[in-house]
């Protein structure tokens, strides 16, 4: 399976999902994604002017098209269903459909597998809470758990008084 392009596919997903750290795509800068003149069987292939990755998501009859492109100056453009939008709006649109790209490690990259495998139980719990997005509800969950405990105490106290 070595050399089949698995890492390139992950890089494309990271890119279209708004990854803003070039080193996570195994490049120094985003302009490095643009193909320069390359030799081919017919001679020289013209250099590309930009890099474009599109991600089409379907849910039922609805289709969403996310698109990210980078030009030769290294500037990225973000589109949702063909309309140019800001980077922040792009990330928000992804978050709304469940792709929370603000969470690091939503893809476990090749170099990070050992780090994840060697996490303590507590670190793994926090890691999974961040990936799943449940960490956003942690304080609310703790508040409800406290209310639940207090309610159980009241019920037990009332039951003890009734028996006595």
pLDDT at 39: 54
pLDDT at 124: 80
In terms of average pLDDT, the best of 12-16, 84-88, 143-147, 153-157 is 84-88
pLDDT at 142: 86
pLDDT at 107: 64
pLDDT at 44: 56
Percentage above 70 pLDDT, the chain:
80
Distance, in Å, from the CA atom of 43 to the CA atom of 14, rounded to the nearest integer, reads 32
- Predicted TM-score of the model (pTM): 0.61
How does the average pLDDT of the chain come out, rounded? 80
User: Does pLDDT of 113 surpass 90?
Assistant: no
CB 52 within 8 Å of CB 65: no
Say how many C-beta atoms besides its own lie within 10 A of residue 65's C-beta. 13
Cα dihedral sign for 150, 154, 159, 164?
positive
CA Rg, the chain, in Å? 24
pLDDT at 15: 85
Q: Which two tokens stand for residue 159?
A: 């039951």
Longest CA pairwise span in the chain (Å): 96
End-to-end CA, the chain: 72
Model confidence at 56, in pLDDT bands (50, 70, 90)?
very high
Let me know how long the chain is. 164
pLDDT in tens, 70-86: 988 888 999 999 999 99
Report the SS3 class of residue 44.
strand
Model confidence at 87, in pLDDT bands (50, 70, 90)?
very high
pLDDT at 29: 83
- Which structural domains are found in the chain, ordered by start? 1-101 (3.40.50.300)
The residue ranking higher by pLDDT, 113 or 99, is 99
């Amino acid at each position: 399976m070595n050399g089949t392009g698995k890492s390139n596919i992950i890089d494309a997903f990271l890119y279209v999902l708004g990854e803003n750290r070039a080193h996570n795509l195994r490049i120094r800068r985003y302009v490095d994604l643009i193909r320069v003149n390359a030799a081919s069987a017919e001679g020289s292939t013209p250099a590309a002017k930009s890099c474009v990755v599109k991600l089409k998501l379907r849910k039922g009859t609805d289709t969403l098209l996310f698109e990210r492109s980078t030009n030769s100056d290294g500037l990225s453009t973000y589109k949702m269903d063909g309309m140019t939008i800001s980077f922040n709006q792009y990330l928000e649109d992804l978050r709304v459909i469940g792709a929370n790209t603000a969470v690091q490690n939503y893809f476990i990259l090749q170099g990070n597998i050992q780090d994840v495998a060697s996490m303590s139980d507590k670190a793994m719990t926090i890691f999974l809470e961040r990936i799943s997005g449940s960490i956003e509800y942690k304080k609310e969950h703790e508040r409800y758990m406290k209310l639940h405990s207090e309610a159980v105490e009241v019920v037990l106290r009332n039951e003890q008084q009734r028996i006595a």
